Amino acid sequence: MLKEKVKIKYLYHSGFQVEINDTALIFDYIQGPVDLGGKNILVFVSHSHPDHYNKEIFAWRNQNPGIKYFLADEIPVKQPAQDIYSLAPYEEVQAGNIKVKTYGSTDLGVSFLVQVRQINIFHAGDFNWWYWYGETPEAIAEAERLFKQEIAKIKGEIIDIAFFPVDQRLEHNYCVGADYFITELNPKYLVPMHFGDCAETPQKYAAKMKNSATKIIPLNTPGQEKVVILNS
């Protein structure tokens, strides 16, 4: 069994760069300090909301001509390109030795499960239990049903590192989705995201989950990094 070093860098909001050996995965970039040199770069965009998608990513081809893009199929692509994969939920593609699977969302677009050197990375995009305070009982019940239905589809996957929303706009419900995700899917690590400028939220959640078997990695400053060692 080999040990793999995984370097996680927080970019902003739901944006992260994940480096494993000679491969770098960039998820839902809108701003922040990316490193585009000397790596096999794969860029993932879960959906077209402006807090998850910045068209600037396509200019990165000038710095790294071998870059590849994996986009939710609701994101318009002006013309077909060999470096762009347009993916609906529940698709699977192989790009070299990288396996990419998509799952659904409870909002727009897709969530991603990416396997690199036997390490499995899940990025939720806007997939969450959107339990909004003040909604009607019917809307609250439907949000719960849709979320748990999607979790059931993911169940059985091995997840080493999950990037998942902890959105303070949900007030006291900010972590119901993350809690359920951990209970049902047992990721080794969970990295809170989708907290915008509420920089205290990841630490708040890490403190709440300090006794969990899933380790919480609270990153909240653009450029902040964490290295974890995983068995592959």
Of 120, 84, 89, 118, the closest CA to residue 106 belongs to: 89
CA atoms within 13 A of residue 185's CA, in its CB half-sphere? 30
The percent of residues above 70 in pLDDT, for the chain, comes to 100
Task: For residue 2, name the pLDDT band (cuts at 50, 70, 90).
Answer: confident
Whether 122 shows a pLDDT value over 90: the answer reads yes
Whether 98 shows a pLDDT value over 90: the answer reads yes
What mean pLDDT do residues 181-193 have? Answer: 98
Which pLDDT score is estimated for 227? Answer: 98
0.95 surpassed by pTM: yes
Which pLDDT score is estimated for 215? Answer: 98
Task: Determine the distance from the C-alpha atom of residue 165 to the mean position of all C-alpha atoms in its chain, rounded to a whole number.
Answer: 9
Task: Determine the distance from the C-alpha atom of residue 159 to the mean position of all C-alpha atoms in its chain, rounded to a whole number.
Answer: 12
What does the chain come to in residues? 232
CATH of 3-231 among 3.40.50.1580, 3.30.43.10, 3.90.1150.10, 3.60.15.10: 3.60.15.10
Whether 37 shows a pLDDT value over 90: the answer reads no
